[in-house]
């Protein structure tokens, strides 16, 4: 990651750059993009869909962070989590069809699992804050 660029031109709207879940999402996208761009066996349309869902994760984390209510923030983080499920399903389908290697899939699976758990933890923390303020009633249990 080009982290030196994350330390310049800071403001409240760019605060998401300090979130580990955002950084992991950016890295997952790069990992997926780098691998799929070298694979000639996967049709361009499918590559585009898989990359779009991976790209959506970091985008929704950033947009959620920039919202000004906990409820709105949580909504975008939930969308990021849904995009990670979509991306996992797409990658697993490619793996099951033997269009990507087991080595790639295992590394991807580990990275995505860590990212998903980070988003879930963040969402639980937001829900807890909203529950304590009476703003929201839900959980992941």
User: Can you list the residues of the chain whose pLDDT is less than 70?
Assistant: 1-14, 134-141
Domain assignment present for 5: no
Q: Is 44 part of any domain? A: yes
1 belongs to a structural domain = no
pTM: 0.86
| Structural domains counted in the chain | 1
Identify whether 140 is part of a domain. Answer: no
Q: Is position 41 within any domain?
A: yes
Whether 63 is covered by a domain: the verdict is: yes
Q: Which of 94, 88, 103 is nearest to 46 (CA)?
A: 94
Say what the pLDDT of residue 116 is. 98
Kindly state whether residue 141 falls inside one of the protein's structural domains. Answer: no
CATH number of the domain bearing residue 126: 1.20.1440.60
Helix axes 20-37, 70-96, angle to 10 degrees: 30
* pLDDT score of 9: 62
Name the packing angle between helices 70-96 and 44-65 (round to 10°). 160
Encode pLDDT of 48-86 as tens digits. Answer: 999 999 999 999 999 999 887 889 999 999 999 999 999
Parent domain of 31? 14-133
> What pLDDT sits at residue 118?
97
């Amino acid at each position: 990651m080009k982290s030196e660029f994350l330390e310049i031109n800071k403001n409240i709207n760019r605060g998401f750059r300090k979130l580990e879940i955002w950084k992991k999402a950016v890295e997952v996208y790069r990992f997926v993009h780098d691998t799929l761009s070298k694979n000639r066996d996967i049709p361009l349309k499918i590559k585009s869909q898989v990359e779009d869902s991976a790209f959506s994760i970091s985008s929704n984390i950033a947009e959620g962070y920039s919202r000004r209510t906990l409820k709105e923030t949580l909504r975008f983080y939930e969308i990021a989590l849904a995009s990670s499920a979509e991306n996992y399903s797409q990658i697993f389908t490619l793996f099951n069809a033997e269009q990507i290697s087991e080595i790639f899939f295992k590394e991807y699976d580990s990275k995505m699992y860590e990212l998903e758990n980070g988003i879930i933890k963040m969402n639980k923390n937001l829900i807890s804050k909203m529950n304590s303020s009476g703003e929201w009633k839900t959980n992941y249990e």
